[in-house]
Amino acid sequence: MSVEVVERFRALWRSLEKIGRDEATGGYRRHGWDAHELACREWFAEEAADRELTVREDGNGNVFAWWGEPRTGDAVLTGSHFDSVPDGGGYDGPLGIVSALLAVDLLRERGATPRRPIVIGAFAEEEGSRFGLACLGSRLLTGVTAADTALALTDRDGVTLTQAIMAAGGDPATVGPDPELLSRFGCFVELHIEQGRALADLNAPVGLASAIWPHGRWRFEFVGDANHAGTTRMADRHDPMLTFAFTVLAANKEARLSGAHATMGRVAVRPNATNAVPGRVTAWLDARAATQSTLDGLIMSVTAKATERAARDGTTVTVTAESVTPVVDFDAALRDRLRGALNGIPVLPTGAGHDAGVLSAVMPTAMLFVRNPSGVSHAPAEHATDEDCAAGVEALATALEELACR
């Protein structure tokens, strides 16, 4: 990999990395249609304009920069997302967009002449951290989620997606599937930081994805009776916090036993007072597994255990699936072609969701992963070296050249 690409990566990365970063924790807060995500979109539009790419925003908050005529078809789409989880890392998402801009620069220098347009996409609200639904921009574009359903979603402050889009100067009436735009994309290649340690273990800077594990989000509502912490006898309580606590342990145990992943990382307690037995606990289970049957089995047994425990605690529990994404097997022909162009780099599955997973239902899709030495992601410590990021840029340039210029 060339030293020059490393330097260029550093310079472009530096121009973006301050947006939405909390200087105290080093974590990012960039959420769909908030000031930070909008500033990232603006940064992207400027970088694209500097490269004489044509910028077009779709009706769903996704921004596309075209190298080539936007009205022509069979384009090679690349890119990723700018938004983060609360206090997330800086690489998850933005690395794919920064790498795409630099890959276009490399291709131009190589004198490559695309026969198909190359398009860099920045997808809105991939993490679902503001409105609760992951991959919101790509789901709306493809119609997997209906516009009406999405527009009614609210953030933690009660702001609806409709209101957020209007506040950002957009038009909620344009939200919804766009088959005409989709028909102009021939394939999608998303570059992303790896979110585990597989490439580090393989001693490889870059890999290709084989599949995304089936995964989803389930909302657990535990309801009991709010009461005085000092005067209510222990035997008289109907405390949903106990049912919740037991459920956290049960989910962890069941996941360990079945080789799945289960996380309860978000919880809301009412009234949320030190001196009151809570009346309601709402918690979200994020669960993922290599196969759908393992995932289904996990959800069934956690639900059964929570229900049994609720009967003992004198509480109730209701479980609602908020989003469930089946397994994604990336296009084998596209992967083999890229693997050939990239000298047989490793191929690995992932437990993380991506816009590439959503788009794979409507076009051949591939993913490139860049080594993450610690494997940490969705946390401020998420990191990749500049050298590996530059190797990712070069691999993406090779992939785009293979697909668009041959």
Contact residues toward Mn ion (CB under 5 A) are 92-93
Q: How far is the CB of 190 from ligand HGY (least distance, A)?
A: 11
Q: Judge whether 165 and 61 are in contact, CB under 8 Å.
A: yes
Q: Which is nearer to ligand HGY, 176 or 216 (CB)?
A: 216
The C-alpha atoms of residue 126 and residue 356 are separated, in whole angstroms, by 10
Which span sits near ligand HGY by CB under 6 A: 126-134, 168-176, 247-255, 333-341? Answer: 126-134
Q: Which is nearer to ligand HGY, 93 or 114 (CB)?
A: 93
Q: Judge whether 395 and 96 are in contact, CB under 8 Å.
A: no
Q: How far is the CB of 173 from Mn ion (least distance, A)?
A: 29
| Chosen residue from 58, 127, 194, 388 binding ligand HGY by CB under 6 A | 127
H helical segments located in 143-206: 147-151, 161-167, 179-182, 198-202
Look at the alpha carbons of 341, 53, 18, 28 in this order and tell me if their dihedral is positive or negative: negative
Q: Which is nearer to ligand HGY, 172 or 349 (CB)?
A: 349
Q: Which is nearer to Mn ion, 117 or 132 (CB)?
A: 132
**Site pattern 86..125 for ligand HGY (x: CB under 6 A):** ------x---------------------------------
100 binds, among Mn ion, ligand HGY, none (CB under 5 to 8 A by kind): none
Look at the alpha carbons of 135, 190, 331, 63 in this order and tell me if their dihedral is positive or negative: positive
Q: How far is the CB of 378 from ligand HGY (least distance, A)?
A: 7
The residue at minimum Cβ distance from Mn ion is: 92
Any idea what DSSP says for residue 174? G
Q: Judge whether 339 and 206 are in contact, CB under 8 Å.
A: no
**Site pattern 283..312 for ligand HGY (x: CB under 6 A):** ------------------------------
The C-alpha atoms of residue 165 and residue 382 are separated, in whole angstroms, by 30
Q: How far is the CB of 133 from ligand HGY (least distance, A)?
A: 11
Q: How far is the CB of 375 from Mn ion (least distance, A)?
A: 13
Look at the alpha carbons of 371, 376, 379, 380 in this order and tell me if their dihedral is positive or negative: negative
Q: Which is nearer to ligand HGY, 210 or 307 (CB)?
A: 210
Picking from 193, 86, 178, 106, the residue whose alpha carbon sits closest to that of residue 137 is: 178
> Does 161 engage in binding with ligand HGY (CB under 6 A)?
no
**Site pattern 351..370 for ligand HGY (x: CB under 6 A):** -xx-----------------
> Does 126 engage in binding with ligand HGY (CB under 6 A)?
yes
Query: Which residues, 6 or more positions from 140, have their beta carbon under 8 angstroms from its beta carbon?
Result: 60, 147, 150, 175, 176, 177
Q: How many chain residues are in contact with ligand HGY, going by CB under 6 A?
A: 6
Q: How far is the CB of 71 from ligand HGY (least distance, A)?
A: 31
- Two structure tokens written together for 2: 């060339």
Q: How far is the CB of 259 from ligand HGY (least distance, A)?
A: 18
The length of the chain, given as a count of residues: 406
> Does 134 engage in binding with ligand HGY (CB under 6 A)?
yes
Q: Which is nearer to ligand HGY, 77 or 212 (CB)?
A: 212
What does the DSSP assignment read for 262-293?
Answer: EEEEEEEEES--TTEE-SEEEEEEEEE-SSHH
Quote the crossing angle between the two packed helices 94-109 and 3-17, to the nearest 10°: 140
Q: Which is nearer to Mn ion, 92 or 178 (CB)?
A: 92
Q: Which is nearer to ligand HGY, 116 or 192 (CB)?
A: 192
Query: Which residues, 6 or more positions from 320, have their beta carbon under 8 angstroms from its beta carbon?
Result: 218, 219, 221
Query: Which residues, 6 or more positions from 71, have their beta carbon under 8 angstroms from its beta carbon?
Result: 184
State the residues that interact with ligand HGY by CB under 6 A: 92, 126-127, 134, 352-353
